[in-house]
Amino acid sequence: MDAAQLRRQKRLQQKLAQAKWIVYFGIIALIGFYLYWRSERVETARIVSDEFLSRIGKREIDVIPKRLFTTGLQEDLPERKFQRQMALLARKLGSLQGFQLIERELSWDNSNVRLVYQAKFERSGARAIFEIVVDPRGYWKIDTYFFWADKWKRL
C-alpha cells in the first residue's frame, strides 16, 4: 500500500465512524420522538375520556338502565322499546365533539346490561372502547380501553 491508499482508507474509516454516530443519534432521536408521541396520545386519550364521561353525565347512565330494569328486563323487553330508550344515550354520544363513533354494541342477559361504544379520536387518531356495565340494582361501572401499538390497553 502506498501513502495515497493509506490516506484514502483512513478518510473512509473516519467517514464510516461519522456515519455510525449519525445513525446512533438518529435512532435515539426516533426513539425520543416515539416516546413523546405515545405520551401525547395517552394524555389526549385521558383528556377525551374525562370529557366523554363528564358530557355523558352520571345522571344519564343512572336513569336509562333503571328504566330498563323497572320496565321488566327479566321479561321479554321489545327490541324497539329497548332501542328507543338507548337512543338517548346514543344521541348524546353522537353529539360529542372530538371523536367519531365507529360502532355501538348493546347486549343484556338476566343480570347485566352491557353497552359498548367504540370511538376514534379525531385529534390523535387513537381508537377507544367505552364499556358501560350496569347490574339490576343500578350500579354501573365504565371501563375505558385504548388501542395503540397493536394492543388494547385499559386506562
pLDDT tens for each residue of 118-138? 666 666 666 667 676 666 555
pLDDT tens for each residue of 80-91? 555 555 555 555
User: For residues 146 and 88, what is the distance between their CA atoms, to the nearest angstrom?
Assistant: 24
Indicate the DSSP class of residue 111: S
Backbone angles phi, psi at 152, to 5 degrees: -90, 125
How do 151-154 and 113-121 pair as beta strands? unpaired
Average pLDDT, the chain: 64
Indicate the DSSP class of residue 75: S
Whole-prediction pTM value?
Answer: 0.36
Q: Hey, where are the domains in the chain?
A: 3-154
